[in-house]
Amino acid sequence: MTNIAFIGLGTMGIPMSHNLIKAGHQVTGFDIQQASLDKHLENGGKVAGSAAEAVEGAEVIFTMLPIGKHVKEVMATCIDKISTDSLVIEMSTIHPLETDEVRASLAERDIAMVDAPVGKTSEHAYTGTLLIMAGGEKDNLDRAMPYLEVLGNPIIDCGGAGRGSRMKVINNYLSNMINVATAEALTLSEVIGLDRDLAIEVMSGTAAGKGHMTTTYPNKVLKNDLSPAFMLDFAHKDQGLAVDLAKAVGVNTPMGNLTQSVYETAQEKGLGKKDWTSVYAMLREEAGLGA
């Protein structure tokens, strides 16, 4: 049994702390909302009157708070009470540079930290099957693992301190854009008279629905092969067909228009006759990652 402090008993924190209790740990929770504290008590946890009280004597300290400002504020109120033998496991989704700030302030006091934000939803928090993206030095990850295993599966070692936080942000970045692009495509498909279920079925079998990382990229740009399997000029032409059609029928396609302008930039850089995945090579070069 480990003495655990859990700060932030909201939608995610309640089921996560409950799983830790069910695994046999003593979990002292703190939240600014009384209803959260009541629920934690009902789940068999102990409650504290402040974050500082919760962390006192805790061997492992979890934070599951809304944004970075909350994590920094909470840490400021309790850092003096955290033992240098303790491990902080920060699981909120926050700005990676704030993750670094929190780690640095803990390191000043020789307190170890793992950043371990989660993917999926509160339903997975209840079943202990969250996707956990963990960042930390190997020793600290090893220490965190028995607790993370109670909360999630799979647990991915993202390759070093701060990289869990970075992985989470990148994952949501792409997922968010696909969300908007999907909404645009489905709206347009309906307005132009396609059956939505049929459109979903067709697109689920192509790179449109499957994504590019596992379909077009592996045999082309990831192998540094930019010879055209599908020429960027054609991708540009086809994108033009869709955005023109959208304009004609009055559908708003901001992602579609932006995509077209990225292809145009690629054409200006001489990539028109290359594979359409060469946009990735172009952006890498712009970012200083080399050709």
Contacting positions for ligand NAD (CB under 6 A): 7-13, 30-33, 36, 51, 64-66, 70, 73-74, 92-93, 118, 121-122
133/13 Cα distance (integer angstroms):
16
| Cβ proximity to ligand NAD, 7 vs 246, nearer residue | 7
Residue with smaller CB distance to ligand NAD, 51 or 246: 51
Min CB(93)–ligand NAD separation in Å = 4
Please give the structure tokens belonging to residue 131.
């996707």
168 is catalytic: yes
Q: Centre a 10 Å sphere on the Cβ of residue 105 and count the other Cβ atoms it contains.
A: 15
Alpha carbon distance 98, 145 (integer Å): 23
d(CA 70, CA 47): 19
* Site of tokens 């509160």: 122
Minimum distance from residue 140 beta carbon to ligand NAD (Å): 21
Nearer to ligand NAD, 11 or 187 (CB): 11
Task: Please name which of 113, 49, 106 lies closest in space to residue 80, comparing C-alpha atoms.
Answer: 106
Residue 29 or 256: the one with the smaller Cβ distance to ligand NAD is 29
Residue 100 to residue 93: CA distance in whole angstroms:
13
**In the complex, what is the shortest distance from the CB of residue 73 to ligand NAD, in angstroms, rounded to a whole number?**
6
Closest separation between CB of residue 7 and ligand NAD, Å? 5
Among candidate residues 168, 220, 247, 269, the one labeled active-site is 168
Contacts of 159 (CB under 8 A, 6+ apart): 135
Opening angle at CA 71, ends 68 and 72, nearest 5: 85
Cα–Cα distance for residue pair 76/78, rounded to 1 Å: 6
Nearer to ligand NAD, 175 or 265 (CB): 175
Q: Could you give the residue numbers annotated as active site?
A: 168
